[in-house]
Amino acid sequence: MSSAEPTEAEPTEQTGPAVREPGRTPRPAAPVPSPLPGLAESARLLADATTTSTALVADALARIEATQPTLNAFRHLRAAAALAEAAEADRRLAAGERLPLLGVPVAVKDDTDVAGLPTHFGCDGERPPVASDSEAVRRLRAAGAVVVGKTNSCELGQWPFTEGTAFGATRNPWNTAHTPGGSSGGSAAAVAAGLVPAALGSDGAGSVRIPAAWTHLVGIKPQRGRISVHPHSDAFQGLTVNGPLARTVADAALLLDAVAGAHPEDFHRPPAVRAADAARRDPGRLRIALAWRPPLTLTGAGPDPEVRRAVTVLADTLARLGHHVEEARPRYGLIGLAFVPRATVGIAEFAARHPEPALLDPRTRAALRTGTRLGGRVVRAARAREVRQHRRIGALFDASGFDVLLTPTTAAPPPRIGRFDDLSAWRTDVAMAAACPYAWPWNVLGWPGVNVPAGFTRSGLPVGAQLLGPSRSEERLIALAAQLEDDRRWFEHRPPV
């Protein structure tokens, strides 16, 4: 059976959790196979008949199983179904068919519908398998990719850590005492550890860029509407978009091209971009604004000295490459007053669909109550402010003449596992805002951003920087990220898994 564009659920052999159950003694870890090649390299090896899809998918599944007791990156595997699709991809390749990702194994986040699997979105409890693929997965399959499984996410994607009672803690391949970030932490851990060549995540307040920063990856938050979020027409009140995580700019761009495009029911339809072409293009000489001060969060947060050191070195690299880099201060204003209603109403909309609300984290239930109060007129007013926010913050590009904004992706290196345990909703929000104050304004604006690896702390923990642009500027950001990658060659560094 062809793996291109299935829409109905098919029987799968392993639709239960891939993680160990709470209280269960973990099995001894199996020997870990070598990391998989990157996305573009995998596609090239398959097209050249140097390897087979069956071999790549089998290696991915073996590596996932071997690291699951330690990294815990996956919520669900579809092992038998993926191997069957790989065998079909091999037959198609042998017959001369070529597609961008034909036979390449990839993973998607557990907020994304995959036919035949439940979509838990980090929540506890039982959910039935969904009948149809999301639009992004449909496009992945149309490009020939083999989805091997679904990666862990924190509950409803709320936090910059990937931990929960439903699945335990997902751990950072660079240091398993630390979080890989969230909410796309499972996807980031899987790619950083070489379990899959690339993966999809989603970003509603930095949830692609933050885990990319904390696992030494490239993470692209595209323009709102670039990648469909269908069956959700306007996820989290327009804050959330899907985006790729990969070890190189070229791989992230290839995945972006494969899944980009609108569903007929989508609200947002930006014109197409050619991300892979941009990754091979000289960005030209750009004016880059370097901003250290985050938007107002009432935490007094600023960058950790080691984060500031790493981002300063990256800014110096950009200047050495011929760009004009100048410190500047975006006029964020009180953008948080627009973010909070949209975020909490979005959480409330998803939480209200849960069949067993008592299983939700108390912090989720608190957000549900807040979102319910801020719905209707308040959230509509928050969304109406977006046009003025575009003008005010966009003046950095329009009036001041900058092409790109450079900021730290996070203010802090990756926290330790359990750092947010037993905190109240309010204390969690304060701690989260202090660690991650830089990413979320671009979700309010709906504009694109790219995390690039910025280096490591003295203890070996990854940190990142984000390249941010005005509306529909993905190609410029991707070209600049690729130029940085050519110079810094961050893909040569792998975690010690």
Which of the residues are catalytic? Answer: 109, 183, 207
Question: CA dist 304 to 215, 327, 398, Å?
Answer: 17, 18, 31
Residue type, 229: V
CA distance 204 to 75: 20
HEC secondary structure over 30-60: CCCCCCCCCHHHHHHHHHCCCCCHHHHHHHH
CA distance 237 to 342: 5
CA distance 322 to 272: 29
Beta-bridge mates of residue 456? 462
Handedness of CA 484, 485, 486, 492 (dihedral sign): positive
Nearest of 227, 251, 273 to residue 112 by alpha carbon: 227
Beta-bridge mates of residue 246? 198, 218
Nearest of 218, 225, 223, 283 to residue 253 by alpha carbon: 218
SS3 call for 433 = helix
- Tracing tokens 């900058």 back to the chain, one arrives at 402
146-151 vs 74-77, strand pairing mode: antiparallel
Angle of helix 336-351 relative to helix 377-384, nearest 10 degrees, comes to 130
Burial class (CB in 10 A: 0-12, 13-18, 19+), 27: exposed
| Residues 199 and 73: beta-carbon distance below 8 Å | no
Torsion of CA 271, 272, 275, 277, to 10 degrees: -110
Q: What angle do CA 206, 209, 212 make, to 5 degrees?
A: 140
163-164 vs 287-290, strand pairing mode: unpaired
